Structure 1
Amino acid sequence: MAKPSVVLQAAAAYQPDDDPFFRKMIGLRELPMRIGARMRGKHAEVAPPFGLHNFVALEQQDDALAYGLIGRFWRPDFGLISVSDGAAYRDFNMAGVAKLALVFSVKPQTDKITKLETETRVFCPDLASRLKFTPYWYLIRPVSGLIRGRILNSIKRESENSRN
């Protein structure tokens, strides 16, 4: 039981790197990239493990928080393209590159009970990116669902442990 502001604050503070399951699944997802880099002698050039630090904050309102990510997610290295802020994210438009938005929203149910929802939307600007993203999504979807459930449970625990 927590107020919407407390729940949204816990969502904003969430760090998936603290979850061993998340770290293992990301490690497994990145294994081909890391093996390939090691075989090419470029292990030192590989980015740190994927996490929320790869996202850009798009917007925060009293009842929602949104993050964005741009890339060719189906590639072993995620094909990430870094942008500086929400405006750069919104303005970005390149064929073959997908944009992902992750939103946390809160809805009060009673005085102290809040419903937290999360939604991920992916925009593929062309047929080529859709044809590459779709099989990737079906492959990662089950694990993505498990991770999302763990994120929501973690935020719930943190919200309930916080002082309202």
Structure 2
Amino acid sequence: MTQDQPQVPELLGDGFAPHPQFTLVRHTVVDAPIKETYAAARNLDLTDIHSGLFTTAERLRELPARWRGRRHGPPRQPTRLTVDDLDSGSDWALLGEHPGTEFAVGVAGKFWRPLIAWRRVEPEEFADFAEPGYGKLVITFGVRPYGAHRSLLTIDTRVQLTDPQSWLKFRRYWRVARPFTQAAHTTLLRTISQGARERSLAAYSRTD
């Protein structure tokens, strides 16, 4: 007699990029409950992200110049840049969310070019998008309980290419880009962890 296997929820990354050719997954244990850790990730201000090797904020500040006039009028320089800002006015899309545990953002592009050719793909079209000459980038932020008072924070980056030629181009690019992506992950994990601890302390102070 065998016991029933526990039901495991499908990861958002498995839905939007089920067969990635390139992946980078990082974890850290956060000294804060899952509620505060998720809120810190979901409300992260990306203009605060800095790294010695890779400054995510500087890359992301380029995006407002590409914001669509039909949504926002003339390009503007935001003082904050959250996931919702990206989704509402850039080529990046909020692909999906399991509230309280996981959310995913994604974009298509020709990432190997000196000036990346970005392309927005809406969530309902993302999984099936297969136009030759592109890669699909999915970044998932996941939070799970780690004991009674801590959380396990995961950042899962996946790249899925649409044709063999793009795979070859991205493979050459990835050799150079991987260390910078790792540095960005480290900074994201550290920043979210700090924000979660601050939220947890603030919540504790209000109930004390």
Query: TM-score, structure 1 length as denominator?
Result: 0.77
Which runs of at least 4 in structure 1 moved beyond 6 Å after TM superposition? none
What's 1:103 paired with?
140
User: Are 1:88 and 2:125 an aligned pair?
Assistant: yes
Q: Give the aligned residue type for 2:179.
A: P
Q: Give the aligned residue type for 2:184.
A: I
Aligned residues: 144
Q: Give the aligned residue type for 2:45.
A: Q
Distance 2:32 2:97 in 1: 19
Structure-2 change in CA distance of 1:23 and 1:90 (3 Å): closer
Deviates more, 1:149-158 or 1:118-127: 118-127
User: Are 1:147 and 2:184 an aligned pair?
Assistant: yes
Indicate the RMSD between aligned Cα atoms, in angstroms: 2.5
Q: Which has the higher contact order (CA 8 A, sep 6+)?
A: 2
Alignment of 1:13-162 (within 5 A): 13-21=43-51, 22=55, 26=59, 53=86, 54-61=91-98, 62-83=100-121, 85-162=122-199
Distance 1:24 1:10 in 2: 17
Contact 2:37 2:193 in 1 (8 A): yes
Q: Give the aligned residue type for 1:94.
A: E
Contact 2:34 2:145 in 1 (8 A): yes
What's 1:42 paired with?
none
Classify the secondary structure of the residue corresponding to 1:137. Answer: helix
Higher Cα radius of gyration: 2
Note the residue ranges of structure 2 that are not aligned, 5 or more in a row: 1-30, 63-76
Query: TM-score, structure 2 length as denominator?
Result: 0.62
Q: Percent identity?
A: 26
The correspondence for 1:7, drawn from 33, 37, 42, is 37
